[in-house]
Structure 1
Amino acid sequence: MKDKNKGWHELRFEFDPTKYTTDCRHCGRTMFLPKSKLNRYKTCGGECAELYRKNIVEKGEKERQRECLVCKKKFTPRQYQLKMGGGKFFSHKCNLEDVCARNGESMQIKATARMAEMRSKGEINYRYGEKHHSWTGGKQAYRERTKEKFKIDGARKLREYREKNPERVKEWSSRRKRGKIMPRLPRGTITNLKTLQKAKCAICKVSIANGYHIDHILPIKLGGKHEPHNLQLLCKNCNLTKSAKHPVDFMQEKGFLI
């Protein structure tokens, strides 16, 4: 006796003369299905359906497998490539090698000869220099235009950059000392120093938020180097007072060291 609470899917393996018979295409198990489901269900369940699809894919890949005409590697082209007459090469590189091998030299010779013929007949006339419609005067004229443009735009952009990046400008200007060009400081050196010192003079602790001098702790004159670890930010008064003195001597004068 049929259970009325069960649907056709749960009863698909139970004999029913009113339904249509079909076999699972993977395991072969017989199923009894309504006419509306007959062509939709080819397997008896999820596991069989997954395995059936996997077998179909593997079979298709095996049937489409080809050997590259150039490198002889095995590969599986897509179905649409085969329909279009393609699927002969493992990669674009192999395809290009084949084209060059078959047509490269002869095609180049033909193209060169054809180009020479068209030029001799006047069918192709390359215009260059003053004859070209886009001629603007050549390299010298370009240099002059660039020079004039820089005088206007360059100066303006430089001013804007200096206004927006005062710390970076300080790094650049600090490279010159007694006529010598010092090594370039790592980007952000001055900004980092200002942050570490909490925007205060390294000696008197007055605020340097609105202005400061970059000082070499051990002066260049005494063998100090233009490097981040030998730099400090001072207020104008402390820097001018310190000048090129040794840091220990200067701090003793200020009463900080005995």
Structure 2
Amino acid sequence: MKIQLSETAHPRDVLGMRYVYLVRSRRAGGISLGVNLSPHKRCNFRCVYCQVEGLRRGGGVRCDLAQLREELARAWAMLDAPLADIAFSGDGEPLACPNVDEAVALVAAFARAHGFTGPIRMITNASYITKPHAERALLRLAEAGGEAWCKLDAVGEAETRAIHGVRIPEAQALAWLVRCARMAPSWVQTCVFLLDGQFSCAGEARTRYLALLARAAQAAPLRGVWLYGLARSAQVAPERVARAPRAWVEALADEIRAH
């Protein structure tokens, strides 16, 4: 079966499966095997740049582990190119899944059994970080040599309300990030874009963002920061978001390095 993959389109149903999909990922630098623990398309965030069609607000649902195991085997058999990573991502917050810890253990065991030595990644907004099942998932991820990629697009209640649809106090964002980094090797993942014609990380918001990064790095070992822009069409508010000029993104990257 020949599968056409693109960095500008990430359909979850490319394989006709509920939990498992394949994409060509900028983050991974190649083919990524995605694990979507939110096939019902519900998330506690509603990011203004979200690319999930039909997204609704809501919590997680349990994963059918037997089906996940079967889909992993089927997807693996379809691969005709090297796999760059395995990523818990998809159509919502993976740590919202009540048995995400069991899903991580299953995926890690599958990877070992099939000789996959690349990274297993958890793409998370970190909002469930204090839940026992999420803690177990991150600890198991770390045991498997995996890593977490934590969303931090803005700092401040007004800014997070505008971008994510939820108010996150600065102290809360810092606590989530530090807690995550203490349980598993962690990167900060920041989406930068134009919102209503203005750079999403500018002015006082930029100052708070850089300060929080510095405080987090002092409190816990962060692997680094991944800045990325929009590559696919937004579904939540397409009329409000656009790509940021590359020079602006590079300038922010320089400031992060300086800190």
Task: Give the TM-score, by structure 1 length.
Answer: 0.17
Mark the structure with the bigger radius of gyration.
1
Instruction: From the two aligned structures, give the one with the greater helix fraction.
Output: 1
Task: Give the TM-score, by structure 2 length.
Answer: 0.17
Instruction: From the two aligned structures, give the one with the greater strand fraction.
Output: 2
Which of the pair has the greater relative contact order for Cα pairs under 8 Å at 6+ separation?
2
